[in-house]
Amino acid sequence: MESNRQMKYSRLELVLVLFFTSSCASEIFPKAQNVSWSSVNFKSILTWSPKPTNYSYTVEFSKLGQDRERMQHCVKMMETECDLTERLKDLNASYSADVLSEPMRGVSSDMVEFPHVSSEKFSPYYDTAIGKPEFTIEVSSDKRKITLLVMDIPTALFNEDKKRLNIRDVFGDNLQYKVAYRKAKSTGKREKISKDSTIELTDLDRGESYCFNVQAFLPFRALDKQHGEVSNIQCSPEENTSVFAEYGVGVIFGAIFIIILAVTTIIFIVTCYRRRQREINKGKEGSPLKGV
């Protein structure tokens, strides 16, 4: 009977020790908060809060279904962000990260497992935001076509030869561009989607100035992540189209020649007609009257 009581007391003591140890640990090493991914053009950074005081943070990550790995440059750190870009090599995979609250460097602890918070799942290919593109405008010599030359945005990724990749290198044919354009003096807007980085627009009024903005378009993504950041607005030069510029010197001189020829012909015909009428009238005046 006495031994049973001692066993119960021992179990109770163990539970209390574990409870208080856990409570103290959460006080000494508070859990991270607001753990989230921030990724633009494939530069993927994990962020959280608050700033640590008498403890530190360590970041671990894992591909979905695999064991967690420690980020070597994010162990027992005093910052609240960790760049994981170089470790997320499989861009199509989904990843999860954990932020552990641990003792500071040089401080030991008897704890087996430290407080941690997991992030939401993140896939670079499907989740990274795309920044604003730059482009140039080319107007054809006949002013009937405008071509936009879009520069594919460079990413934070490199290939095996250490060459920086752009978003076309990563997305290939899945990358499209959406163009919004309008007359410079109008609010009416039109749109065009192009699979190419060279975009030709031919449904424009000749000589008019048009304003454009461009954004990356990824239709395979979820709706809220399909569009990249909108570019700055650029406008084509306004053409002061004179009659000579519109129709050409040859056409205008040809029209003038035809008009002069027509007027000359009319004058000639009228002159001939009047001369003939005068001759007829003179003939009538010079002839004797009948019956005299």
Domain contains 70: yes
Contact 50, 80 (CB under 8 A): yes
Domain contains 3: no
**At 23, is the pLDDT very low, low, confident or very high (cuts 50, 70, 90)?**
very low
Domain contains 11: no
The b/e string for 101-126 (b: 16+ C-beta within 10 A; e otherwise) is: bbbeeeeeeeeeebbbeebeebbbbe
Domain contains 232: yes
Structure-token pair, residue 271 = 């002159």
Does position 131 have pLDDT exceeding 90, yes or no?
yes
- For 229-252, the pLDDT digits (tens) are 999 999 998 865 555 555 556 667
**At 15, is the pLDDT very low, low, confident or very high (cuts 50, 70, 90)?**
very low
For all residues of the chain together, what is the average pLDDT?
85
Residues 6+ positions from 155 with CB-CB distance below 8 Å: 41, 42, 43, 164, 165, 166, 167, 169, 170
Q: d(Cα 94, Cα 126) in Å, to the nearest integer?
A: 9
- For 149-185, the pLDDT digits (tens) are 999 999 999 999 999 999 999 999 999 999 999 999 8
Amino acid at 243: V
Q: Are 94 and 120 contained in the same domain?
A: yes
| Structural domain count of the chain | 3
Domain interval for residue 97: 24-127
Mean pLDDT value of segment 188-209: 92
Q: Which pLDDT belongs to residue 240?
A: 57
Contact 86, 158 (CB under 8 A): no
| Domain boundary pick from 109, 127, 145 | 127
Q: Are 53 and 145 contained in the same domain?
A: no
| Domain boundary pick from 127, 156, 182 | 127
Q: Are 144 and 229 contained in the same domain?
A: yes
Q: Are 161 and 222 contained in the same domain?
A: yes
- Cα 292 to Cα 206, 223, 283, 286: the distances in Å are 79, 111, 18, 15
Q: Which pLDDT belongs to residue 144?
A: 85
- In a 3-state reduction of DSSP, which class is residue 39? strand
Nearest alpha-carbon partner for 44 in 131, 157, 161: 157
Q: Are 144 and 203 contained in the same domain?
A: yes
**At 92, is the pLDDT very low, low, confident or very high (cuts 50, 70, 90)?**
very high
Q: Which pLDDT belongs to residue 215?
A: 98
More confident residue, 63 or 14: 63
Q: Are 121 and 141 contained in the same domain?
A: no
Q: d(Cα 81, Cα 99) in Å, to the nearest integer?
A: 10
Domain contains 47: yes
Q: Which pLDDT belongs to residue 221?
A: 98
Domain contains 78: yes
